[in-house]
Amino acid sequence: MELEAAQAFAMAIKFIGAGLMLGLGAVGAGVGIGVLGGRFLEGAARQPELIPMLRTQFFIVMGLVDALPVIAIAMGLYLMFAA
Amino acid sequence: MSSSATLTSQAYIQHHLTNLTFGYLPGHGWGFAHDAEQAAQMGLWAINVDTMAVALILGGLFAWFFKRVADRVSAGVPGGAQNFVEWVVEFVDENVRGSFSGKNPLVAPLALTIFCWVLLMNLMDLLPVDLLPWLAGMVGVSHLKAVPTTDPNATFGMALVVFGLVLYYSFKIKGVGGFLGELTLQPFGKWGMPANLVLEGISLISKPVSLALRLFGNMYAGEMIFILIAIMYGGGIILGATAGVLQFVWAVFHILIITLQAFIFMVLTIVYLDMAHQEHH
């Protein structure tokens, strides 16, 4: 009975950890890409002729911002379903 | 997939995330690892055969296709293949001209190779997750991870080659003194040398690590989600139909990520090499 309770507790801790990884990653990426997209729109509204150049830069920086949360998501999903 | 009757979803995921590893197992001699534990015991001198094979096949495909088009190039009305290749080459060339300020004939071909190769390796992600392992299982191969970029060995290999080039050109263009000066004399001047070395050293080391981990993480996450969707197919008609829709949606979204990551790998390679070519005075 002791052992079962301990196992259930370890299970719960694991899922909380995975949930934190997924959630905090999403918060960070949401704020980052939100700011980035807002500035992109501002710039595009101010100087529409720069849109192609801005779009390229936007996607590059989005890929950079996106990387860490996505890694966290991969690790979180691994923890939740496979580990 | 393995043929055992009781296949849990955990075992299924684990199986899909295990490479086909060839190496020396203490006590057993040379051979293929049967599970992840044995692969870990093989240590450093083990080769992930599936990663190597798929990557080399795709690299060869890219080289063969571009060489074939270049050999048959015509000044008249170009065919579809020539149009496509010219478009890709121009796209890469434009990016190199945009962000690389030095003079080096190696950079543009390197960027083209990296972009096309990484893109092709990432594209393997769009194949159904079970297709290649199933085909390999028919000829008796136990494990197969079809996407080379979900193996950190492949991404770190590429990132380390780029890092080696950065170091080589840093020493070549700036000279040993210039490069060491850049590492130790910024940003606090010569009396803050240890702090400078730590700061600059971290930013130098973080380049290849972030380059490799970014590509690996994105592809690994994508593959993981594809595998989780594939598990849903075993859950009856309704779940199966949902999984079909989900897989299509995720695949369409993933096309963006695949191209974007290949593009970012290329752009960052160019930028890092550009930084290696800039002389500070």
Q: What is the pLDDT of residues B52-110, one digit of tens each?
A: 889 999 999 999 999 999 888 888 887 888 889 999 999 999 889 888 888 888 999 99
Cβ atoms of B259 and B120 closer than 8 Å? no
Q: Hey, what are A22's tokens? A: 């997924």
| Of B265 and B142, more confident | B265
Q: Report the distance separating Cα B15 and Cα B1, nearest Å.
A: 7
Chain A window 15-54: which residues touch B at a Cβ cutoff of 8 Å? none
Question: What's the pLDDT tens digit per position in B210-225?
Answer: 889 889 988 988 888 8
Query: Given an 8 Å threshold on Cβ–Cβ distance, is B260 in contact with A81?
Result: no
Chain B stretch 188-247, residues whose beta carbon is closer than 8 A to a beta carbon of chain A: 210, 213-214, 216-218, 220-221, 224-225, 228
Per-residue pLDDT tens over the stretch B231-254: 888 888 888 899 999 999 999 989
Cβ contacts of B261 on chain A, cutoff 8 Å: 63
Q: What angle do CA B21, B22, B23 make, to 5 degrees?
A: 120
Tokens of B138: 């028919």
Give the model's confidence band at B35: pLDDT under 50 very low, under 70 low, under 90 confident, else very high.
Answer: confident
In this prediction, what percent of chain B has a pLDDT beyond 90?
Answer: 27
Predicted pLDDT of residue B7? 67
Contact predicate B104/B273, CB 8 Å: yes
Mark yes or no for CB contact B263/A59 under 8 Å.
Answer: yes
Chain B residues within 8 A of A68 when measuring between CB atoms = 217
Residue B214 among the catalytic residues: yes
Which are the contacts of B113, defined by CB distance < 8 A and separation ≥ 6? B62
Q: Is the pLDDT higher at B10 or at A51?
A: A51
DSSP at B165: H
Q: Average pLDDT of B169-184? A: 87
Residues A13-67 pLDDT 10s: 999 999 999 999 889 889 999 999 999 999 999 999 998 888 888 888 888 888 7
Q: Which of A64, A78, A82 sits opposite B264 (nearest CB)?
A: A64
Q: Count how many pairs of residues, chain A against chain B, have C-beta atoms within 8 Å.
A: 50
pLDDT, position A66: 82
- Whether residue A68 lies within 8 A of chain B, CB to CB, comes out as yes
* A24 close to A72: Cβ distance less than 8 angstroms: yes
B218 is catalytic: yes
- Per-residue tokens: A28: 């960070």
Interface ipTM: 0.72
Q: What is the pTM of this model?
A: 0.83
**Binning pLDDT at 50, 70 and 90, where does residue B2 land?**
very low
The DSSP secondary structure of B186-249, one letter per residue, reads TTT-GGGHHHHHHHHHHHHHHHHHHHHHHHHHHHHHHHHHHHHHHHHTTSHHHHHHHHHHHHHH
Going by pLDDT thresholds of 50, 70 and 90, the confidence category of residue B3 is very low
